[in-house]
Chains A and B, each alone.
Chain A
Amino acid sequence: MLAMIAKEVRQVRRDRRTLAMMIVMPVMLLIVFGYAASFDVSAIETAVTGPVAGEVAGRLPETFAIVDVEVTDPVDTLRRGEADVVLATDHGGAIAYVDGSELFTARAAVAAFNAAAVQGAPVKSEILFNPELDTSAVLVPGLAGLILLFIGSLVTSLGVVRERQAGTLEQLAVMPLRPRDIFVGKIAPYFVVATVDLVVVLFVGWLVFDVPFVGSPWLLGLGAMLFLFVTLGLGVLISTVSENQGQAIQLAIMTLLPQVLLSGLIFPLESMAAGVRWLGYLLPLTYFNQIARGVMLKGAPLDSLLMPLGLLALLGVVVFGLAVLRFRHELGVSEATVAA
């Protein structure tokens, strides 16, 4: 038995990579997530309108960050995500329209307004889009994205790695197929499956958790397609740097974990320290979350979602491009050096 223990110790000491992972990673993760995890709201974006707007704006507590937005219709402003709160002032008092889809912000705002008064009259709060401030309504859209991410990246990467391990990837390379044929062929079936998955998850969300769906399915579909593109491309990218299935799973989990905590799914992005928030801006789930919440809870129109959609498209192009490049490099069938 002693001999066994001695041997195992020697082996572990030599395996620097696992040691690094076991010691360095927990510390890193703690620091990053420590800064990310915050339910506190640092800034509530508020638009103030009405005849006494200027006065009121000046007297609002610091948590309310005034945004310079032209408000014709408070509901529309909120729907477009231009502000978290629209405070419509009047000589007799004020109404605060609160965006219920921003859960923590809404709660903080309502609490503040309940204790405040404008022009001597209490502020009436009207919570739009998620009147009950229901957590699942806010979580489910993003969760759908998370599930897609998991399946998309993990399953796709395993599919390619399996083929490489079986040796058949080489054979494909020698056949008259282009690298992009192989790439698209590999992700196409997963595209279909993932789309079906998305529909099922959202349906269950609607059925069991009463998650609303007030916006355009086509818009959500567009967002989902772009998101899937990035996700599956990420899967292929992971497979090009993994030698075996174990490594692929490790990498897939490593790209998954940050997205759970840094994408705004649970902890609002605005509340994160600046350095950590930037990480969030690089993640595809962040944008899908914005799109899904916007469409499902608020019925946000296309032009208000152009930025997340555009960024997803950009991410998609980058990931796809990288994956195809690496694929081509790996399957690099060179031209005949000399025709016989």
Chain B
Amino acid sequence: MNALVSAAGVGRRFDDFTAVDGIDLEVMPGEIVGLLGANGAGKTTLIRMVLGLIAPTFGTITLFGGSPGRQARRRLGYMPQGLGLYDDLSVAENLRFASRVHGVAQADSPDLATVADVIVAELPMGWRRRVAFAAATCHQPDLLVLDEPTSGVGPLARAELWDTIHAAADGGIGVLVTTHYMDEAEQCDRLILMAQGRQVTAGTVAEVTRGISSVEVVAPDTAGALGRLEEAGLVALPGGGRLRVPGAEETRVREALAGQTGVRLATTPANLEEAFITLVAT
């Protein structure tokens, strides 16, 4: 089986700023690959290289085995952050336009039937995303590229959107997703964690967090403990009355907090965010 998207050491420079710096990427049919990172990490630039909208400065990238370009794009469905819908047209008109542009017959969308004549600008965000998804998939693409698909929607709409994405992947479509929500990491088969254009780590959630632990600190004087840890150069995350120090060793934490009474320490496996912080620091 051939990869739908394949990138090796790909990067892009703009004048003196390197937006993407050496990323390896592969999306196979039926799998969901997530690009996880903050704003400015380079996710959107990488996506634009996958789509063939800009050329890489170094490294290689292929789309459906060839160079990314207008022809290759016919086989993929793209849902940009801004949704790509026409706010002043109705749902039906948007879908009609999308089908005609791709040269396919307009498919029936039974779940959108109730809002077919509603102007997009008047729809709530959750519905708009569903319309955008339908528009992006009307031509039965082999690959879906979704840029922050669940941004700005409530919990139910988000769950439903992921159900739809999984259904597509189960049907053999490959999905490339970008997000800045850590808790969406579990929805992906594989992750690429990005920071400042670089690949911090890649793999499944389990692979990424393997071998990284955090020290949990319970102290009566949390504020004081926080201060001591800061002085010792240790990043501590406050939460629910306790502190977590990602990627540190118990002995070092104990040393920093020497002299504080009633302190209890425990070493626990790091969650994804803590793993991210630890890996970025190294």
Q: Let me know if chains A and B touch directly in the complex, using CB atoms closer than 8 Å.
A: yes
Residue contact B101 to A3, C-beta cutoff 8 Å: yes
Residue contact A7 to B86, C-beta cutoff 8 Å: yes
Q: Which residues of A contact B86 (CB under 8 A)?
A: 7, 11
For residue B83, give the distance in angstroms from its CB to the closest CB of chain A.
16
Residue contact B100 to A11, C-beta cutoff 8 Å: no
B97: interface (CB < 8 Å): yes
Residues 1-47 of A at the B interface (beta carbon under 8 Å): 2-4, 6-7, 10-11, 14-15
Given known A2-B100, A3-B100, contact A15–B93 (CB-CB < 8 A): no
For residue A8, give the distance in angstroms from its CB to the closest CB of chain B.
10
A7 to B90, alpha carbons, bound, how many Å?
11
For residue A20, give the distance in angstroms from its CB to the closest CB of chain B.
15
A138 to B146, alpha carbons, bound, how many Å?
64
Q: Which residues of A contact B101 (CB under 8 A)?
A: 3-4
B88: interface (CB < 8 Å): yes
Residue contact B93 to A10, C-beta cutoff 8 Å: yes
Give the contacting residue for B89; candidates A3, A4, A10; CB below 8 A: A10
Residue contact B88 to A15, C-beta cutoff 8 Å: yes
For residue A4, give the distance in angstroms from its CB to the closest CB of chain B.
8
Give the total number of A-B pairs whose CB atoms are below 8 A apart.
19
Closest to B99 in A: A3
**Dominant secondary structure at the B interface:** helix
Residue contact A7 to B88, C-beta cutoff 8 Å: no
Residue contact A14 to B100, C-beta cutoff 8 Å: no
A11 to B86, alpha carbons, bound, how many Å?
9
Residue contact A14 to B97, C-beta cutoff 8 Å: no
Residues 72-113 of B at the A interface (beta carbon under 8 Å): 86, 88-89, 93, 97, 100-101
Residue contact A3 to B88, C-beta cutoff 8 Å: no
For residue A12, give the distance in angstroms from its CB to the closest CB of chain B.
9
Residue contact B89 to A11, C-beta cutoff 8 Å: yes
Q: Which residues of A contact B89 (CB under 8 A)?
A: 7, 10-11, 14
For residue B69, give the distance in angstroms from its CB to the closest CB of chain A.
19
Closest to B93 in A: A10
- Which residue among A2, A3, A6 has the maximum number of chain B CB atoms within 10 Å of its CB? A3
For residue A155, give the distance in angstroms from its CB to the closest CB of chain B.
30
Q: Which residues of B contact A4 (CB under 8 A)?
A: 101
Closest to B98 in A: A3
Q: Which residues of A contact B88 (CB under 8 A)?
A: 11, 14-15
Residues 187-242 of B at the A interface (beta carbon under 8 Å): none
Closest to A3 in B: B100
For residue B85, give the distance in angstroms from its CB to the closest CB of chain A.
12
For residue B143, give the distance in angstroms from its CB to the closest CB of chain A.
23
A6 to B88, alpha carbons, bound, how many Å?
14
For residue B17, give the distance in angstroms from its CB to the closest CB of chain A.
23
Q: Which residues of B contact A2 (CB under 8 A)?
A: 100
Q: Which residues of B contact A14 (CB under 8 A)?
A: 88-89
Closest to A13 in B: B88
A233 to B62, alpha carbons, bound, how many Å?
58
Closest to B87 in A: A11
A14 to B87, alpha carbons, bound, how many Å?
11
For residue B25, give the distance in angstroms from its CB to the closest CB of chain A.
32
Residues 86-144 of B at the A interface (beta carbon under 8 Å): 86, 88-89, 93, 97, 100-101
Closest to A15 in B: B88
For residue A6, give the distance in angstroms from its CB to the closest CB of chain B.
8
Closest to B100 in A: A3
For residue B87, give the distance in angstroms from its CB to the closest CB of chain A.
9
A10 to B97, alpha carbons, bound, how many Å?
11
For residue B142, give the distance in angstroms from its CB to the closest CB of chain A.
22
A3 to B99, alpha carbons, bound, how many Å?
9
A175 to B202, alpha carbons, bound, how many Å?
46
Q: Which residues of B contact A7 (CB under 8 A)?
A: 86, 89, 93, 97
A14 to B90, alpha carbons, bound, how many Å?
11
For residue B225, give the distance in angstroms from its CB to the closest CB of chain A.
30
Q: Which residues of A contact B93 (CB under 8 A)?
A: 7, 10
A4 to B89, alpha carbons, bound, how many Å?
13
A4 to B86, alpha carbons, bound, how many Å?
12
For residue B222, give the distance in angstroms from its CB to the closest CB of chain A.
25
For residue B116, give the distance in angstroms from its CB to the closest CB of chain A.
15
A6 to B100, alpha carbons, bound, how many Å?
10
A94 to B88, alpha carbons, bound, how many Å?
73
| A11-B89, A14-B88, A15-B88 known, 12 other contacts, Cβ within 8 Å | A2-B100, A3-B97, A3-B101, A4-B101, A6-B100, A7-B89, A7-B93, A10-B89, A10-B93, A11-B86, A11-B88, A14-B89
19 A–B contacts from the bound complex (CB under 8 Å)? A2-B100, A3-B97, A3-B100, A3-B101, A4-B101, A6-B97, A6-B100, A7-B86, A7-B89, A7-B93, A7-B97, A10-B89, A10-B93, A11-B86, A11-B88, A11-B89, A14-B88, A14-B89, A15-B88
Q: What are the nearest 9 A-B pairs in CB distance?
A: A3-B100, A7-B97, A3-B101, A14-B88, A11-B88, A3-B97, A10-B89, A10-B93, A11-B89
